[in-house]
Amino acid sequence: MKINLISDTVTKPSIDMLNAMMSAEVGDDVFKEDPTVNALEEKVAKLFGMEAALFFPSGTMANQTGIKLHTQPGEQLICHEYAHIFNYEGGGVSFNSGVSCKLLKGSRGMMTAEQVEQAINPPDFYHSPLTSLVCVENTTNKGGGACWDMEELKKIKKVCGDHNLSYHMDGARLWNAMVVKKNLPKEYGELFDTISVCFSKGLGCPVGSALVGSKDSIHKALRIRKVFGGGMRQAGFLAAAAIYALDNNVNRLQEDHIRAKELGECLDSLSYIQKVEPIETNILIFEIDESKMTQSHFTQTLKEKDIHIIGMGQGKLRMVTHYDYTQEMHEIVLNTLKKL
Ligand SMILES: *Cc1c(COP(=O)(O)O)cnc(C)c1O
């Protein structure tokens, strides 16, 4: 049995999800005539208490569209040095928007409002790029699935308001954060100009993300998505999966979080593990004590048992729990780790 802990993107649609997809009513979404895509966009907008939403083929495109919406070439955005938009979107911030990133440090992929305020270039000092956007990521990916504290997000919102900056959230795994923090999408909708969310991770969809924002932003986003090549035709088959996932797969994220914690506790008890980072959601990052076991021996031995995990560089390893990681698999992994 292949056990894939590389990412929560490896899931395949369940039979029930496939049935929902197969029976979707579809049309040409480039003409905005796909009823299922329209229904999904309405549903997501309403969920966040925002005016409008737009369906995207990837979270990367949703983020890149958000960044393009809020910036002009030559300007600068502020984000954490771990940010997905900076590290894992192929340099799209500069390629697509001609924008640079001011990178901030901070524990587990998060920064403070004070840091953000200090990173703003004085708007009248024309020698430096004009700061126009702040991006935060929730949960943090490279930060190990950490969830932002609502109070800090509000403080950053205040800084954005005081300095006339737009505020975007990369909420690829915001569903996970909401399950842990027990807050509502609307609480985030009130703070941000735009939020991107993924359906293709913990929620188990094969494809799909959305960007939520004001009517005006989403109207502009439609053109940007077209320019990026993201206009899709009978996309309702995909949107149906997302609707199914929102109705059925959000609360079960708790199971992924519990299994991640159990994996973390197990690793923590093993002599060859040096450090396990705190686990809040479905991502766990840990380090091997290389004087006891090499990283490659560890990953290779797991691989021989058909358990797949990924290295993150700098001696860090990662496991991500998800919809297709069952209790049966979980027990196999726990037993294997203990016997290694
Ligand atoms: C996965 C992810 C994205 C989007 O990735 P796609 O593969 O393009 O869907 C964006 N931000 C974060 C933090 C992610 O983990």
Q: What is the model's pLDDT at position 32?
A: 96
* Cβ within 8 Å of residue 55, ≥6 positions away: 29, 37, 40, 41, 208, 209, 210, 232, 235, 238, 239, 242
141-173 b/e with 16+ CB inside 10 Å = b? bbbbbbbbeeeebebbbebbeebebbbbbbbbb
Q: Ligand 1 test: best mutation among 170, 198, 281, most atoms within 8 Å of CB? A: 198
Mutate to test the pocket of ligand 1, among 55, 80, 84 (most ligand atoms within 8 A of CB): 84
Ligand 1 atom nearest the C-alpha of 60 is 8
pLDDT of residue 244: 98
Q: Which of 170, 203, 318 to mutate to test the pocket of ligand 1 (most atoms within 8 A of CB)?
A: 170
pLDDT of residue 340: 85
For the chain, state the CA radius of gyration: 20
Does ligand 1 lie within 6 Å of residue 170's CB atom? yes
Q: Hey, where are the domains in the chain?
A: 15-248, 252-338
The widest CA-to-CA distance across the chain, in whole angstroms, is 62
Strands in the chain per DSSP E: 3-4, 52-56, 76-80, 100-104, 131-137, 166-171, 194-198, 209-213, 273-276, 283-288, 307-308, 310-313, 316-320
Q: Quick check: CB of 58 below 6 Å from ligand 1?
A: yes
CA 27 from chain center: how many Å? Answer: 28
- Which residue's CA is minimally distant from atom 4 of ligand 1? 59
If you write DSSP's letter for every residue of 202-260 in order, what string do you get? TT--SS-EEEEE-HHHHHHHHHHHHHTT---SSTHHHHHHHHHHHHHSSTTHHHHHHHH
**Mean pLDDT score of the chain, rounded to an integer?**
97
Contacts of 125 (CB under 8 A, 6+ apart): none
pLDDT at 114: 98
Calculate the CA dihedral of residues 243, 246, 248, 253 and round it to 10 degrees. 150
Per-residue model confidence (pLDDT) at position 119: 98
With beta carbons less than 8 A apart as the criterion, state whether 308 and 6 touch. Answer: yes
Q: Which amino acid is at 133?
A: L
pLDDT of residue 312: 87
What distance lies between CA 262 and its chain's CA centroid? 22
DSSP state string for 144-172: TS----HHHHHHHHHHHHHHT-EEEEEET
Average pLDDT over residues 11-36: 98
State the Cα–Cα distance between residues 136 and 320, nearest whole angstrom. Answer: 21
Alpha-carbon gap, residue 167 to 131, rounded angstroms: 12
pLDDT tens, residue by residue, 139-155: 999 999 999 999 999 99
CA–centroid distance, residue 122 to ligand 1 (Å): 31
Closest by CA position to 189, among listed 179, 197, 198, 181? 197
Look at residues 177, 158, 178, 176 and name the one whose alpha carbon lies nearest to residue 167. Answer: 158
Q: Which fold has domain 15-248?
A: Aspartate Aminotransferase; domain 2 (3.40.640)
Length of the chain: 340
Q: Which of 76, 220, 177 has the alpha carbon at shortest distance from 135?
A: 76
pLDDT of residue 98: 98
Between strands 3-4 and 307-308, the pairing is: parallel
User: Residue 170 CA: which ligand 1 atom is closest?
Assistant: 11
The whole-angstrom separation of Cα 51 and Cα 53 is 7
Of 187, 245, 218, 227, give the one whose Cα is nearest residue 55.
218
207 falls in which pLDDT band (50, 70, 90)?
Answer: very high
Once rounded to an integer, what is the mean pLDDT over residues 212-233?
A: 98
Q: Is the pLDDT of residue 323 over 90?
A: yes
39-98 pLDDT, tens digit each? 999 999 999 999 999 999 999 999 999 999 999 999 999 999 999 999 999 999 999 999
Cβ of 60 less than 6 Å from ligand 1: yes
Q: What is the pLDDT of residue 315?
A: 83
State whether the beta carbon of 137 lies less than 6 angstroms from ligand 1: yes
Whether residue 139 has its Cβ less than 6 Å from ligand 1? no
Tens digits of per-residue pLDDT, 100-123?
A: 999 999 999 999 999 999 999 999
Q: Is 198 in the pocket of ligand 1 (CB under 6 A)?
A: yes
Q: Rounded to two decimals, what is the model's pTM?
A: 0.97
CB atoms within 10 A of CB 92: 19
CATH tag, 252-338: 3.90.1150.10
Distance 223 CA to ligand 1 centre (A): 21
Q: What is the pLDDT of residue 31?
A: 96
Q: How confident is the model at residue 125 (pLDDT cuts 50, 70, 90)?
A: very high
pLDDT in tens, 174-198: 999 999 999 999 999 999 999 999 9
Closest CA to 121 of 165, 169, 84: 165
Q: Ligand 1 pocket check: which of 60, 79, 138, 142 to mutate, most ligand atoms within 8 Å of Cβ?
A: 60
